[in-house]
Amino acid sequence: MNSPRVYQTEAIVLKRIKLGEADRILTLYTPNLGKIRAVAKGSRRTTSKLGGHVELLTHSQLMLARGRNLDIVTQAQTIDNFLALKDNLDKLSFGLYISELVDSFTPDHVDDRRLFNLLLDTLQQLSQDKDASSILRYFELRLLDYLGYRPQLRQCANCGSAIEPAVNSFSSRYGGVLCQDCSYHEPTARSLSLNALKVMRLWQNCNYATALRVRIDPKLASELEKVMREYIKFLLEKQLKSTEWLDKLKHDSSLQQRGNASTENRQQM
């Protein structure tokens, strides 16, 4: 059976790269086709009808035509452009981070509607003035869960014994929490407070509304960020590009107050 020459899909734009004079190659995450790449012809021209509908982190309805190598976007209509997210440099950096995570972890053409919904929910949550740090950590845990990297947090990830309600450790190599005995023999494990363990266990099994009801103080937020970042870096065997930017923004914000993202900054993305 031949697949149809044109098809429609919802998509979130994860990445864009320039192609030739006026075109772009888009990396898209879709509900039923997973991650796909497609060409948006002429989208860099100011007169392009596609232009605004295929911007980064935009949720759109697309019409595509099968191409010899890459499919071609023939029509696009924005469903949600997440302007609140794009107009704020911090939120934009969070949005780019989650899109880079999805792009880095997913193979092409493997559909996962849960992941699509998670990505969409997360962009919506980030657009509002909620605790971004909790949103990002919750997103990371759910993403890893869907992709088969759910960290083992109930028993020791090495020996399987019960975890004492005390300071234990998290090992990226073992993919979970280690009991105190095993922690002692695993020098690469980092210490994990009881509160951090409790929050991670909860977030593995709850929805966004519940996740964001937990009060996280800055020290705990920082611990959770370090644990998750180390684990993700271990899994991807690389540091994500966008984390450098996240760190720079965090550093800058401790030095000075910033206004909204200027158009110039956004152009560089």
Provide, rounded to whole angstroms, the least separation between the CB of residue 193 and Zn ion. 18
Q: Which is nearer to Zn ion, 182 or 211 (CB)?
A: 182
- What is the distance between the alpha carbons of residues 250 and 257, in angstroms, rounded to a whole number? 11
Q: In the 8-state DSSP scheme, what is residue 52? A: G
182 binds Zn ion (CB under 5 A): yes
Report which of 122, 115, 52, 53 is spatially closest to residue 94, judged by C-alpha positions.
122
Q: Is the dihedral of CA 105, 111, 112, 118 positive or negative?
A: positive
The span from the CA of 180 to the CA of 202, in Å, is 21
> How far apart are CB 170 and Zn ion at their closest, in Å?
12
92 binds Zn ion (CB under 5 A): no
- Which of 79, 110, 159, 194 touches Zn ion (CB under 5 A)? 159
Number of residues that bind Zn ion (CB under 5 A): 5
Q: In the complex, what is the shortest distance from the CB of residue 187 to Zn ion, in angstroms, rounded to a whole number?
A: 15
Binding mask 109-148 for Zn ion (x = CB under 5 A): ----------------------------------------
In the bound state with Zn ion, the residue whose beta carbon lies nearer, of 103 and 186, is 186
Q: In DSSP terms, which residues pair with 177 in a beta bridge?
A: 170
Stretch that binds Zn ion, among 113-121, 173-181, 193-201, 261-269 (CB under 5 A): 173-181
Residue in this structure with the two tokens 């075109």, named with its chain if needed? 23
3-state secondary structure of 132: helix
Residues 6+ apart with CB under 8 A from 26: 13, 15, 16, 37, 38, 39, 40, 54, 73
Contact residue for Zn ion among 179, 200, 224, 227 (CB under 5 A): 179
With CB under 5 A as the contact rule, the residue among 13, 54, 73, 156 that binds Zn ion is: 156
Question: Which two structure tokens, joined as six digits, stand for 123?
Answer: 């962009």
Which CB atom, from 158 or from 172, has the smaller least distance to Zn ion?
A: 158
**Min separation Cβ 228 and Zn ion, Å:** 21
Contact between 158 and Zn ion by CB under 5 A: the answer reads yes
Residue 227 C-beta: closest distance to Zn ion, Å? 17
Interacting span for Zn ion (CB under 5 A) from 62-70, 179-187, 208-216, 252-260: 179-187
Q: Which stretch binds Zn ion (CB under 5 A): 5-13, 101-109, 123-131, 156-164?
A: 156-164
Q: Per rule CB under 5 A, is residue 17 in the interface with Zn ion?
A: no
In this complex, which beta carbon is closest to Zn ion, that of residue 161 or of residue 205?
A: 161
Rounded Cα gap, residues 80 and 213, in angstroms? 26
Residue 142 CA to its chain's centroid (Å) = 10
Q: Tell me the DSSP string of 169-227.
A: EEETTTTEEE-HHHHHH-TT-EEE-HHHHHHHHHHHTS-HHHHTTS---HHHHHHHHHH
Minimum Å gap between C-beta 32 and Zn ion is 42
Q: Which residues of the shown chain bind Zn ion in the complex (CB under 5 A)?
A: 156, 158-159, 179, 182
